[in-house]
């Protein structure tokens, strides 16, 4: 349903490219992880999908329709967007934050209220307790859950997530990651998630797109990457979590596969 | 409470109301200009620099100058409008700066989230950035309000009623109680508004809607309650004449003027002018006219106001018009000057000269008698020999006028140092030896009281300065006004005017009391 074909981006009229040539597709229920180091072009690629960054070339289509033919503001309202730290509006309550996009779309208040409760339930926050609170009264993990709920509010077919769990402590991150996978299995949206964390990619992705210097270095399922890394660079990326897992295994009583 | 203090309090509702109306409307319009422009500047990088520079430049213009400049820019209009415009301009900088800073300081993650969720630039501004920048913007409004309330005291010379009237009048008539009175109430007003806006700032920071609404109500209450007496007095039904002016014979049949509109009397900012203003007021009231006073105006501002019918009646001096308006320098006889000045005023400005009041208030150089004797000085010519090392004090206006330049050239006083100061201080300054010579006014009671010698002017370098009664072009057509003023021609002698000035400057009497002494002597 989401299809990127030879997408590129240059900020200086074609002299240099932040993104040189990226192609991949995402179907409902899939979670595509864009993986790479800082400055590799993964976030730029993500932001071209909701036109926060305008592509310099290539095509991006949603259900066969070129996004450049759509109004960018209307396009963004149909795509969920989660960023690191969530970017919640500090002057609005949790309920108001979640209701932003439905309000922009002109939903009736009678439709918004139950929707907010459903979403808070879905991300594991008791509506009666949280709806009226302000973002500053929440923990980092709770804030990020609200960020996910807010992005899901208008039932988008596509979710974009830009390092959404990067700033969380490991325990919180782990629980929110598995919960996100549970939510996606209930609500079958297509997700594109940007991260530099290989472990996160391996644990969450249906497919991983490794990006290096604005080019796709490899596309594959976590298994494919683990077993058949395309080159030394990807081998190095994968070796770290693998080594960590092996060392942890060795420490556990009765460990070892 | 003393009578003097009671008099001050009597004017308070009107002046405080005028002050509040002027300040609040300037800040309010300032907000309506600053916030949209500031917000626009955050969207257009190329607008931001120039906008902040212009706002900053306005701030560097001294407040009094900005106020004074508005009068010629508005074609001679005095009163509320020039003061309001100057204060509005003055209020812009802190508010624009804080709007820009407040919006630019909003967490970029928040604005990116807003964009990414499909908010338009306008929705982001109104729904996210402005609410988040509100505490900073309100802090800017608070700064602007305190500045404007302070600067509104300077609105008096351009003819806008404000607490500055106490300060200027007090300064000119050596009534220090009035000066302090004006300062205290201006400060109280500033503190009250500052604290109320601070509460608004806190309620914006803590997003406490109830507190915000309460504070806004309190602000509205202060504004309405403060301004109401001013509006009532300015535009409302006037109480019948007798209640306002004790000297009006309410039972006597008022002639002609009673049906005409309010006559406004303008005056400059020194003692004699206050007294003459009060004198004209009571004379016209006795004729049944409705009168309002516009005191404390600068010399040229007053003439502009008269020419443009903002002020109806005032007293000026032939030599002043000769030198500053007609730009004439050659010496001429008293009566010839009077005729030429009257002719010029009618022909060039449509201003009617009703006639001379009878006394002359000339510029004259004066010094202590003992010091003059010691140096052997009797005339300005003698002064020239000692010019080096002498300091001459005078009002801020005189050293810029052509008469002074002529005197200086005629007698060779170039080597003397000049020191501008308010006229109220120069007599004490020469008495105490802080300056050697002053440019005294010949009708000032302090010349005799301080034992000063008026130096002879053998070359007649100073022109004559007969006080003349002037009527604005429009007002000259008011039925009965010229008739009511004509009996005042040639009725005040030099001695009577000097005595009236002395009553105020040395005995601390109110200008109205001195005016009564002028009427009694007629």
**A166 reaches B (C-beta below 8 A):** no
> How many Å lie between the alpha carbon of B213 and the closest alpha carbon of chain A?
17
Closest by alpha carbon to A79, among A161, A178, A184, A195? A161
Closest by alpha carbon to B519, among B492, B501, B494? B492
Mean predicted confidence (pLDDT) in B35-47: 93
Identify whether A244 is part of a domain.
no
* Residue found under tokens 């504070």: B215
CB contacts, 8 Å: A78 with chain B: 118
Identify whether A234 is part of a domain.
no
- Residue B254 is given by DSSP the state -
Tabulate helix, strand, coil % of chain B (nearest 5): 65, 10, 25
Residue of A nearest to B123 (CA): A104
Interface of A with B in 5-44 (CB under 8 A): none
Q: State the Cα–Cα distance between residues B298 and B281, nearest whole angstrom.
A: 20
Q: State the Cα–Cα distance between residues A82 and A160, nearest whole angstrom.
A: 6
Contact call for residues B422 and B387 (beta carbons, < 8 A): no
**A130 reaches B (C-beta below 8 A):** no
Interface test with B, best of A73, A92, A105 (most B CBs within 10 A): A73
Identify whether A40 is part of a domain.
yes
* Residue found under tokens 């009618």: B346
Q: State the Cα–Cα distance between residues B426 and B81, nearest whole angstrom.
A: 33
Q: State the Cα–Cα distance between residues B45 and B448, nearest whole angstrom.
A: 67
**A194 reaches B (C-beta below 8 A):** no
Q: Is A164 helix (H, G, I), strand (E, B) or coil?
A: coil
Burial track A237-252 (b if 16+ CB lie within 10 A, e otherwise): bbeebeeeeeeeeeee
Identify whether A233 is part of a domain.
no
**Beta carbons of A74 and B131 less than 8 Å apart:** no
Report ipTM (2 d.p.).
Answer: 0.89
> What would the 3-class secondary structure string for B197-227 be?
HHHHHHHHHCCCHHHHHHHHHHHHHHHHHHH
Say how many domains are in chain A.
Answer: 1
CB contacts, 8 Å: B128 with chain A: 89, 91
pLDDT > 90? residue A58: yes
Strand (E) or helix (H) holding B486: none
Residue of B nearest to A156 (CA): B117
pLDDT > 50? residue B241: no
Interface test with B, best of A94, A100, A134, A156 (most B CBs within 10 A): A100
The pLDDT confidence band at residue A4, using thresholds 50, 70 and 90, is: very high
Lowest mean pLDDT among A13-17, A30-34, B179-183, B195-199: A13-17
**pLDDT per residue as tens digits for the range B374-398:** 989 999 999 988 888 888 998 877 8
**A254 reaches B (C-beta below 8 A):** no
Burial track A177-215 (b if 16+ CB lie within 10 A, e otherwise): beebeebbeeeebbbbbbbbbbbbbbebbbbbbbbbebb
Domain, as residue range, for A153: 2-222
- Give whole-number Cα distances, B176 to B114, B327, B395, B429, in Å: 59, 37, 19, 17
- Of A77, A83, A91, which is closest to B113 when you measure between CB atoms? A83
Q: State the Cα–Cα distance between residues B290 and B285, nearest whole angstrom.
A: 6
**Across the strands, what pairs with A219?**
A209
Domains of chain B in start order, with CATH, are: 3-235 (1.10.3720.10), 254-359+467-521 (3.40.190.10), 363-454 (3.40.190.120)
- Interface residues of chain B, partner chain A, Cβ below 8 Å: 107, 109-110, 112-120, 123, 128, 131-132, 207
Contact call for residues B277 and B295 (beta carbons, < 8 A): yes
Identify whether A118 is part of a domain.
yes
Phi first, then psi, for residue B356 (nearest 5°) are -75, 150
pLDDT > 80? residue B481: yes
Residue of A nearest to B131 (CA): A91
pLDDT > 80? residue A57: yes
* Residue found under tokens 């969920």: A80
Handedness of CA B75, B76, B79, B84 (dihedral sign): positive
**A93 reaches B (C-beta below 8 A):** no
**Beta carbons of A77 and B128 less than 8 Å apart:** no
Q: State the Cα–Cα distance between residues A133 and B223, nearest whole angstrom.
A: 36
**A57 reaches B (C-beta below 8 A):** no
Interacting residues of B477 by C-beta distance below 8 A, sequence separation 6+? none
Contact call for residues B498 and B444 (beta carbons, < 8 A): yes
pLDDT > 90? residue B223: yes
**Beta carbons of A81 and B113 less than 8 Å apart:** yes
Residue of B nearest to A84 (CA): B109
pLDDT > 90? residue B522: no
**pLDDT per residue as tens digits for the range B337-365:** 999 999 999 999 999 999 999 999 988 99
Identify whether A75 is part of a domain.
yes
Half-sphere exposure of B77 (CA within 13 A, CB side): 12
Q: State the Cα–Cα distance between residues B494 and B176, nearest whole angstrom.
A: 28
Q: State the Cα–Cα distance between residues B416 and B424, nearest whole angstrom.
A: 22
Residue of A nearest to B120 (CA): A73
Separation of first and last alpha carbons in chain A: 39
pLDDT > 70? residue B243: no
Closest by alpha carbon to B15, among B175, B180, B227? B227
- Give whole-number Cα distances, A147 to A151, B27, B169, B476, in Å: 6, 40, 65, 76
Contact call for residues B149 and B189 (beta carbons, < 8 A): yes
* Residue found under tokens 């009060």: B278
**Across the strands, what pairs with A220?**
A208
**Beta carbons of B113 and A88 less than 8 Å apart:** yes
**Beta carbons of A52 and B118 less than 8 Å apart:** no
Q: State the Cα–Cα distance between residues B59 and B97, nearest whole angstrom.
A: 12
Instruction: Report the pLDDT value the prediction gives residue B380, as an integer from 0 to 100.
Output: 92
The pLDDT confidence band at residue B1, using thresholds 50, 70 and 90, is: low
**pLDDT per residue as tens digits for the range A106-150:** 999 999 999 999 999 999 999 999 999 999 999 999 999 999 999
Instruction: Report the pLDDT value the prediction gives residue B236, as an integer from 0 to 100.
Output: 61
Identify whether A158 is part of a domain.
yes
Mean predicted confidence (pLDDT) in B205-223: 92
Q: Which residue stretches of A80-231 are H helix?
A: 94-98, 100-104, 109-122, 127-130, 140-152, 170-186, 198-204, 222-227
**pLDDT per residue as tens digits for the range B404-448:** 888 988 998 888 888 888 877 889 889 988 899 999 998 998 888
- Of B117, B123, B132, which is closest to A90 when you measure between CB atoms? B132
Instruction: Report the pLDDT value the prediction gives residue A166, as an integer from 0 to 100.
Output: 83
Long-range CB contacts (within 8 A, 24+) of B66-70: B66/B90, B67/B151, B67/B154, B67/B155, B67/B157, B67/B158, B68/B157, B68/B158, B68/B298, B68/B301, B70/B158
- Asked whether the whole model's pTM tops 0.90, one would answer no
**pLDDT per residue as tens digits for the range B78-110:** 788 999 999 999 999 999 999 999 999 999 999
Interface test with B, best of A90, A144, A147 (most B CBs within 10 A): A90
Q: State the Cα–Cα distance between residues B500 and B322, nearest whole angstrom.
A: 26
> How many Å lie between the alpha carbon of B205 and the closest alpha carbon of chain A?
9
Q: State the Cα–Cα distance between residues A216 and A4, nearest whole angstrom.
A: 12
Half-sphere exposure of B515 (CA within 13 A, CB side): 19
Q: Quick one: how many helices (H) and strands (E) in chain B? A: 23, 10
pLDDT more than 70, % of chain B? 95
Interacting residues of A108 by C-beta distance below 8 A, sequence separation 6+? none
Residue A94's CATH number: 3.40.50.300
Q: State the Cα–Cα distance between residues B145 and B151, nearest whole angstrom.
A: 10
Q: Is A21 helix (H, G, I), strand (E, B) or coil?
A: strand
- Give whole-number Cα distances, A134 to A94, B364, B395, in Å: 6, 75, 63
Contact call for residues A80 and A49 (beta carbons, < 8 A): no
Mean predicted confidence (pLDDT) in B500-521: 90
Identify whether A47 is part of a domain.
yes
Contact call for residues B504 and B511 (beta carbons, < 8 A): yes
**Beta carbons of B120 and A73 less than 8 Å apart:** yes
């Amino acid at each position: 349903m989401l299809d990127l074909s030879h997408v590129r981006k240059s900020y200086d009229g074609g002299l240099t490219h932040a993104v040189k040539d990226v192609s991949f597709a995402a179907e409902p229920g899939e979670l595509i992880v864009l993986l790479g180091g800082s400055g590799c072009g993964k976030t730029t690629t993500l932001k071209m999908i909701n036109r926060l960054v305008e592509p310099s070339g290539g095509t991006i289509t949603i259900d066969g329709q070129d996004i450049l033919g759509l109004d960018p503001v209307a396009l963004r309202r149909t795509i969920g967007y989660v960023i690191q730290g969530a970017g919640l509006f500090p002057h609005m309550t949790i309920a108001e934050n979640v209701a932003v996009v439905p309000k922009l779309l002109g939903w009736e208040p009678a439709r918004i209220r139950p929707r907010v409760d459903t979403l808070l339930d879905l991300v594991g926050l008791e509506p009666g307790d949280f709806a009226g609170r302000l973002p500053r009264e929440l923990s980092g993990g709770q804030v990020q859950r609200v960020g996910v709920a807010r992005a899901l509010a208008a039932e988008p077919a596509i979710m974009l997530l830009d390092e959404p769990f990067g700033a969380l402590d490991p325990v919180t991150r782990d629980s929110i990651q598995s919960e996100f996978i549970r939510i996606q299995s209930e609500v079958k949206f297509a997700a594109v998630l940007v991260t530099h964390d290989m472990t996160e990619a391996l644990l969450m992705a249906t497919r991983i797109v490794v990006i290096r210097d604005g080019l796709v270095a490899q596309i594959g399922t976590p298994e494919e990457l683990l077993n058949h890394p395309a080159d030394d660079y990807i081998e190095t990326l994968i070796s770290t979590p693998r080594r960590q897992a092996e060392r942890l295994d060795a420490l556990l009583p009765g460990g070892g596969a | 409470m003393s009578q003097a203090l009671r008099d001050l309090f009597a004017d308070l509702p009107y002046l405080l109301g005028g002050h509040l109306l002027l300040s609040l409307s300037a800040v309010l319009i300032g907000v309506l200009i600053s916030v949209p422009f500031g917000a626009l500047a955050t969207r257009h990088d190329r607008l931001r620099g120039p906008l902040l520079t212009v706002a900053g430049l306005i701030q560097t213009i001294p407040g009094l100058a900005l106020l004074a400049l508005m009068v010629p820019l508005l074609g001679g209009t005095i009163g509320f409008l020039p003061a309001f415009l100057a204060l509005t301009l003055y209020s812009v900088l802190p508010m624009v700066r804080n709007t820009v800073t407040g919006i630019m300081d909003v967490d970029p993650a928040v604005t990116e989230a807003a964009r990414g969720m499909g908010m338009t630039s306008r929705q982001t501004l109104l729904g996210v950035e402005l609410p988040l920048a509100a505490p900073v913007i309100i802090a800017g409004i608070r700064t602007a309000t305190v500045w404007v309330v302070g600067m509104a005291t300077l609105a008096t010379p351009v003819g806008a009623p404000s607490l500055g009237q106490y300060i200027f009048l007090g300064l000119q008539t050596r009534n220090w109680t009035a000066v302090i009175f004006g300062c205290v109430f201006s400060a109280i007003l500033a503190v009250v508004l500052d604290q109320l806006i601070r509460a608004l700032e806190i309620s914006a920071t803590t997003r406490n809607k109830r507190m915000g609404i309460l504070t806004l109500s309190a602000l509205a209450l202060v504004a309405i309650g403060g301004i109401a007496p001013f509006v009532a007095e300015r535009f409302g039904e006037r109480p019948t004449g007798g209640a306002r002016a004790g000297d009006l014979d309410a039972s006597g049949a008022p002639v002609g003027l009673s049906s005409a509109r309010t006559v406004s009397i303008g005056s400059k900012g020194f003692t004699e002018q206050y007294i003459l203003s009060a004198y004209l007021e009571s004379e016209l009231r006795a004729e049944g006219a409705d009168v309002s006073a516009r005191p404390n105006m600068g010399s040229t501002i007053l003439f502009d106001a008269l020419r443009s019918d903002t002020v109806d009646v005032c007293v000026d001096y032939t030599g002043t018009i000769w030198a500053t308006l007609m730009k004439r320098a050659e010496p001429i006889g008293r009566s010839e000057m009077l005729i030429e000045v009257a002719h010029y005023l009618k022909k060039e400005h449509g201003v009617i000269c009703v006639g001379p009041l009878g006394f002359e208030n000339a510029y004259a150089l004066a010094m202590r008698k003992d010091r003059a004797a010691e140096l052997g000085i009797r005339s300005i010519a003698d002064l020239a020999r000692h010019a080096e090392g002498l300091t001459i004090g005078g009002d801020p206006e005189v050293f810029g006028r052509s008469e002074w330049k002529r005197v200086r050239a005629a007698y060779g006083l170039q080597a003397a140092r000049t020191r501008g100061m308010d006229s109220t201080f120069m007599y004490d300054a020469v008495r105490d030896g802080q300056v050697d010579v002053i440019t005294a006014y010949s009708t000032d009671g302090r010349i005799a009281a301080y034992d000063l010698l008026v130096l002879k002017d053998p070359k007649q370098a100073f022109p004559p300065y007969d006080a003349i009664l002037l009527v604005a072009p429009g007002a000259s057509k008011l039925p009965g006004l010229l008739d009511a003023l004509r009996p005042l021609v040639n009725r005040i002698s030099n001695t009577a005017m000097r005595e009236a000035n002395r009553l105020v400057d040395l005995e601390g009497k109110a200008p109205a009391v001195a005016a009564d002494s002028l009427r009694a002597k007629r």
